[in-house]
Amino acid sequence: MDGVVHHPAQHPFVDNLWPARRCAPVSVWDVPALRAAGTRLVHLHFGFEGRDADDVASWAGALRRSGIALVHTAHDLDNPHLRTQEPFHRTVDVLARAADAVTTLTPTAADVLRRRSGVDATVIAHPHVVPFADMERHRRPGADRSGIYVHAATCRPNLDIDAIARLVARPSARRALVHVRSTAPPAALAQLRRVAATGRVQLDVRPRLDDAELWARIATSELVVLPYRWGTHSGLLEAAHDLGTPVLAPAFGGYADQGAHTYDGDPADAVDAAIGEAPALTVADRRRQRQRLRRRFAEVHQHAVAAVA
Domain ranges of the chain: 4-124+289-308, 132-278
Whether 229 and 159 have beta carbons less than 8 Å apart is answered as yes
Q: Which CATH class is domain 132-278?
A: alpha beta
Q: How far, in Å, CA of 64 to CA of 56, rounded?
A: 12
pLDDT at position 143:
76
Q: What is the pTM of this model?
A: 0.95
CATH number of 4-124+289-308, picked from 3.40.710.10, 3.40.50.2000, 3.30.565.10, 1.10.3720.10: 3.40.50.2000
What are the pLDDT digits (tens) for 83-114?
Answer: 999 999 999 999 999 999 999 999 999 999 99
- Answer yes or no: same fold for 4-124+289-308 and 132-278: yes
pLDDT at position 2:
87
Average model confidence (pLDDT) across the chain = 95
